[in-house]
Copies of this chain bind each other. A is one copy, B any other.
């Protein structure tokens, strides 16, 4: 028995999801795909014979052979498409962010009304390294995270570095510690002279409600590789992610392990496992173990606080928690 999945948006992320679902996920069939570029959709259906192209996201969501939906289209479309899924009563796995603003995210949460239909793509929670790290934590005191990439897209600005990259660390920290983020303080590293239009690197201090202090470094143009690190300093131990390399090459006076050039090889397993677990929950009619709409709202609220700290000179800014956000609606 297989459930039918529709994938909206066929950029890097949506294409990767489509291929992973098609080739590596048990119990799922990609039945529909949609992209604003119809040629792109045709390319994909040529490679994934089970899928046909829908003319747009709404048609895809309505299609009878679509049991559940993956949204990987432009960020600005996430909220309306997610709401369309809710209205169709179909489970949806939406890439982050859930919505462009905290208020919009809160609207989506309100629409969901606790039905648990929305899953958010915070895939690090399914990375085997992070899972092992979480299991090894005992009485945490301090966390250090590093998210470094090779090169950012030209349009990315300082705020997008936070909402697109640091947001993963915000979710990860709260998930690792089982404690929501209470406040954030933003600081500039020395500006990389190769980078324009963006403060890069950035360093944030994050205080969770349990009192743990985290340092979050985001450096999108680190150039040397896609490098994700996390260390949790506990009372009597420290735990960290190992370098995820599979081989060591001795050459040219160096003993070297390879970095990925982007997120795909680094998090391939996390994306696969996240999709598998999601498909299992959909076909079993069970609650999704993925991050949900509320987690997406919370992470956006943390990002919002970080941006306000950036704008106000680095002071600690309290996270306007979902409860408040919802209350203000």
8 A Cβ contacts from A21-53 to B: 22-26, 28, 50
Is A259 positioned at the interface, with any CB of B under 8 Å from its CB?
Answer: yes
Bound CA–CA A188/B249 (angstroms)? 23
Please, which residues of chain B bring their CB within 8 A of the CB of A87?
none
> A328 at interface (Cβ–Cβ under 8 A)?
no
- Our pick among B139, B142, B225 for the contact of A253 (Cβ within 8 Å) is B225
Residue of B nearest to A192 (CB): B235
Least Cβ–Cβ distance between A31 and chain B, in angstroms: 12
Interface of A is mostly: mixed
Which of A153-161, A216-224, A287-295, A301-309 lies at the binding interface? Answer: A216-224
Q: Which of B28, B129, B142, B205 contacts A205 (CB 8 A)?
A: B205
Could you give, for residues 241-258 of chain A, a 1 whenever the CB lies within 8 Å of some chain B CB and a 0 otherwise? 111111111111111111
* CB-CB nearest 7 A-B residue pairs: A237-B251, A190-B211, A129-B246, A256-B256, A223-B236, A254-B256, A142-B189
- A residues within 8 Å of B by Cβ? 1-2, 22-26, 28, 50, 128-129, 132-133, 136, 139-142, 144, 148, 187-194, 201, 203, 205, 210-213, 215, 217, 219, 222-225, 227, 233, 235-259, 261, 269, 276, 280, 314, 316
**Other A-B pairs beyond A141-B190, A190-B213, 9, CB < 8 Å:** A24-B26, A132-B246, A136-B247, A144-B215, A148-B233, A219-B233, A227-B250, A240-B250, A242-B257
